Amino acid sequence: MTSTTPAAPAAPSAPAAPEAPQRRGRPAGSPLLRYLLVRFLLIFPTILILVSVVFVMLRLTGDPITAALGGRLTPDQLQERIHEAGYDRPIVVQYLDYLGSIVRGDFGTTISDNRPVTQVLLTYGTATLELVVYGMLVALLIGIPLGRIAASRRDSGGDATLRVASILAYATPVFFLGMLLKLVFSVWLGVLPVSGRASTISTLKMSREGSSTGIYLIDAISTGDGAVISDVLQHAILPAVTLGLITGGIFLRLVRTNVMGTLATGYVEAARSRGVGERRLLRKHAWRPALIPIITVIGLQTALLLSGAVLTETTFEWKGLGFQLVQYLLARDYVAVQGMVALIAVIVALTNFVVDVIAALIDPRIRY
Amino acid sequence: MATALTPEPTAPAPVAVAVPERAAWWRRLPVVHQLRQSVGVQRTMLVLGLVLMAVFLLSAIFAPLLAPYGFSQLRDASGEAFGAQQPPSAEHLLGTTVGGYDVLSRVIWGSRTALMVVVIGLLLSVFLGIAFGLVSGYFGGWLDRVAVVVADAVYSFPSLLLAILAAIVISGGQASVWGGIMATAVSITVVFIPQYFRVVRAEVIRVKAEAFVESARVIGTPHRRIMTRHVLRNSTRTLPLIVTLNSSEAILTLAGLGFLGFGIEPTKGADWGYDLNKALSDIAAGIWWTSVWPGVAIVLTVLGITLVGESLNDLADPRLRRRRRAARLAGTVGSTTAVPGGVLAAGAQGADGIDGLEASEQDALDPLEDPVAEPRGVAGTGGDEGGSRS
């Protein structure tokens, strides 16, 4: 009875859903498989709920056509377009219709520039992906080593400094940090570009000579032109550092707390009593077990990274999903907003699933 | 310093220590108690946080007296316009914005807006979160499971986007200062309800199993009375701490909303995030005073609240508290943090959604209990790491 419950609400959103895991056979025997199955089925209600919440919230304000074009068209034209798009049907019908089209992978067509939302997602998704990966790299490079240092010198001056720094990183809004970095490095020192993903010349060159993956670093490398590559990298530094510093502060705290936790365990204590030195204790005994929860929580920061990316992209005019989302929001193009938010919901649900699977594979205590 | 609160002997009689000589009433006040309990770095952090919070509160309360001009004032007393983007001067200590407002005045008034939004937003979300958590946890069953899945789904969603959606829904006709502030506060509420829901629900499920609740039920006490009198009163112990930590997150969300253009109009209130949004284009021209000061205000406010919240959290957690003045508070407050990645450990979010679905009996170690349970199991005995390290 327990494992059927999560599947029930999922049914309307994804009729195809329950089939996939069944192919894996009946997992009743293995607790791990059972856990994975339940966890997998839980994706669907999560997505369904988020998509529904977004639908209801945006529809509370009226139909998208009036919101986007109201005042610019005559009432008759408006009515006609509303009718064409089917927004005069009962809300329940529209809702089911919407869910159905999402299952088919159709997220609608934007009103303001009349593009399929999926195309918008593909175009700008790569930019966001690139930014998030850079940000994550910076965060890991900062957070993990510094967290280890802080934990190994617990309550020393260095630890206190790092702790305050990490709280400060939390207290600083990501866009404010971005603006400060911009002010110092782009305006006062003049060493880095102010905004954008590449200069106009590089963009032209990439579109003419390079590949068109949308990931600028790959495109730049494919042109084989050193100037283009360095231009693209220079544009990426400030956004990556901005996003990375904020996230890195979280990782720092996380690593510190966890390493301190494992340093206090019985087996580390036992090793210590055998005369193992403090450095070796940290390196050989306490470090790895401490990393397990960190992997999980790093995965759970996706939502946070996405919020951060929206703000960072706006600060640096990095034309990714977040930047575009804000443009659509300001244009009151709610079809586009709905589609993009639905995609974000899917991303969040999927990452959480992947994270849980990894965690369950690493740590047997999680599955039961 | 010199109270009789010596470190406890091994097997503690639960009520023993604090009773013999009750300290003066003011020493037992919540924050004062912790302040006296703290030492060293922890105390410095707590004091610094309290000072920053005090500055924030004073500036919010006395904004009309402190600010040289109104938040939407464009002309001085003689009717002369301030002028846009004026550098700091004697008349405008921190300069003027691109819209021609006085930066210092808007920074000070901004603290009032932030305070109002946070207070209203958190009151609403605490109230609703407790109500939902209480009903859901107490009655359990089908409704509870659905509620848990919904709360988890909403909780996993980027909070800023959620707040933006809420802002769109609400921001239909904001006519007054209160309209703008209420709209923003309600937008923030949406983000926090799931958190309070989870915490209260977990506590309710724990308390529900206690003998006194069963006794009440045996003698035929109606549900409503059990819920309010017996369960609710014993389920809210962790809330003050979470509220403290959440208020810093609320300010950040407010700032994010403002920065993305969903904040409070400048004529209706001073919004730090809104000012930063308008200052974004000033940066390229080297105009720093329009962005730096509102930004610093946000950072200091959030820093103050976080320092206080973190210190209280550490002091309440015997594993984190420095021991010299260990009082008997240990364990009365669960380990919580609003800072992502704080004391969180493995699988906190992932596993609990399934907890809720799988085994309602096991629910006692549900959402926010989980991260606590995990490191504790690992850390072995609670507070002895201090001794073994040195």
Give the residue with greater pLDDT, A131 vs A11. Answer: A131
Residue of B nearest to A157 (CA): B41
A274 falls within a domain? no
Contact with chain A for residue B256, Cβ under 8 A: yes
- B274 CB contacts (<8 Å, ≥6 apart)? B258, B259, B263, B264, B265, B266
Q: Is residue A359 scored above 70 in pLDDT?
A: yes
Q: With 0-12 CB in 10 A as exposed, 13-18 as middle and 19+ as buried, what is B273?
A: buried
End-to-end, the C-alpha distance of chain A in Å comes to 16
A157 falls within a domain? no
Give B269-288 pLDDT, tens digit per residue. Answer: 788 888 888 888 888 777 88
Give the closest-approach CA distance of A61 to chain B in angstroms.
6
Give B292-334 pLDDT, tens digit per residue. Answer: 888 999 999 999 998 888 888 777 766 555 554 444 444 434 4
Contact call for residues A6 and A38 (beta carbons, < 8 A) = yes
Give B12-28 pLDDT, tens digit per residue. Answer: 444 444 445 666 766 66
Measured between beta carbons, which residues in chain A are less than 8 angstroms from residue B152? 46
Interface of B with A in 47-76 (CB under 8 A): none
The pLDDT value given to residue B299: 93
Q: Do B292 and A168 touch (CB under 8 A)?
A: no
- B76 CB contacts (<8 Å, ≥6 apart)? B69, B82, B91
Phi, psi (rounded to 5 degrees) for B345: -130, -160
- A59 CB contacts (<8 Å, ≥6 apart)? A91, A94
Q: Do A307 and B256 touch (CB under 8 A)?
A: yes
Q: Is residue B176 scored above 60 in pLDDT?
A: no
Residue of A nearest to B293 (CA): A176
Give the residue with greater pLDDT, A270 vs B334. Answer: A270
Contact with chain A for residue B87, Cβ under 8 A: no
Contact with chain B for residue A268, Cβ under 8 A: no
A21 falls within a domain? no
Question: Which of A293-307, B322-336, B342-356 shows the lowest mean pLDDT across its residues?
Answer: B342-356
Q: A259-263, B96-100, B358-362, B363-367 — which one is most confidently predicted on average?
A: A259-263
What is the pTM for the complete model shown? 0.76
- Distance in angstroms (rounded) separating the CA atoms of residues A81 and A66: 9
Phi, psi (rounded to 5 degrees) for A119: -70, -40
Measured between beta carbons, which residues in chain B are less than 8 angstroms from residue A196? none
Q: Do B252 and A173 touch (CB under 8 A)?
A: yes
Q: Tell me how far CA of residue A204 lies from CA of A197, A200, A210, in angstroms.
A: 12, 6, 10
Residue of B nearest to A2 (CA): B358
Measured between beta carbons, which residues in chain B are less than 8 angstroms from residue A310? 158, 160-161, 260
Unique residue bearing structure tokens 């301030």: B82
Enter the DSSP assignment of B339: S
- Domains held by chain A: number: 1
State chain A's mean pLDDT as an integer: 78
Beta-bridge partner residues of A109: A116
The pLDDT value given to residue B333: 40
The pLDDT value given to residue B18: 47
Q: Do A300 and B350 touch (CB under 8 A)?
A: yes
A101 falls within a domain? yes
ipTM of model: 0.79
Give B117-147 pLDDT, tens digit per residue. Answer: 889 988 999 999 999 988 898 888 888 888 8
Give the closest-approach CA distance of B231 to chain A in angstroms.
27
What is the percentage of chain B residues whose pLDDT exceeds 70? 69
Interface of B with A in 315-344 (CB under 8 A): 319, 322, 339-344
Q: Do B291 and A35 touch (CB under 8 A)?
A: no
Span A136-157, average pLDDT: 85
Best mutation target, B260, B302, B308, B390, to test chain A (most A CBs within 10 A):
B260
* Closest in A179, A300, A310 to B160, CB measured: A310
Give the closest-approach CA distance of B140 to chain A in angstroms.
14
Contact with chain B for residue A172, Cβ under 8 A: yes
Going from the N-terminus, what domains does chain B have, and what CATH number goes with each? 40-75+83-88+95-316 (1.10.3720.10), 330-388 (no CATH)
The pLDDT value given to residue B317: 66
Q: A5-9, B95-99, B347-351 — which one is most confidently predicted on average?
A: B95-99
Phi, psi (rounded to 5 degrees) for A152: -75, -25
- Distance in angstroms (rounded) separating the CA atoms of residues A271 and B282: 58
Q: Do A175 and B256 touch (CB under 8 A)?
A: yes
- A104 CB contacts (<8 Å, ≥6 apart)? none
Q: Tell me how far CA of residue A7 lies from CA of A17, A243, B290, B361, in angstroms.
A: 9, 37, 53, 21
**Boundaries of domain holding A73:** 30-112+331-368
A228 falls within a domain? no
- Distance in angstroms (rounded) separating the CA atoms of residues B171 and A232: 39
Q: Do A315 and B40 touch (CB under 8 A)?
A: no
- Distance in angstroms (rounded) separating the CA atoms of residues A260 and B388: 12
Interface of B with A in 261-280 (CB under 8 A): 261-262, 273, 276, 279-280
* Closest in A50, A176, A272 to B153, CB measured: A50
Q: Do B279 and A179 touch (CB under 8 A)?
A: yes
- B54 CB contacts (<8 Å, ≥6 apart)? none
Contact with chain B for residue A106, Cβ under 8 A: no
A256 falls within a domain? no
* Closest in B164, B295, B351 to A179, CB measured: B295
A283 falls within a domain? no
Contact call for residues B279 and B290 (beta carbons, < 8 A) = yes
Give the closest-approach CA distance of B221 to chain A in angstroms.
31
Q: Do B347 and A366 touch (CB under 8 A)?
A: yes
A136 falls within a domain? no
Q: Residue A19 is encoded by which pair of tokens? A: 């089939």
Give the residue with greater pLDDT, A15 vs A322. Answer: A322
Contact call for residues B287 and B241 (beta carbons, < 8 A) = no
Q: Do B154 and A326 touch (CB under 8 A)?
A: no
- Distance in angstroms (rounded) separating the CA atoms of residues A63 and A70: 10
Question: Which of A213-217, A242-246, B310-314 shows the lowest mean pLDDT across its residues?
Answer: A213-217
Judged by DSSP in three states, A153 sits in: coil
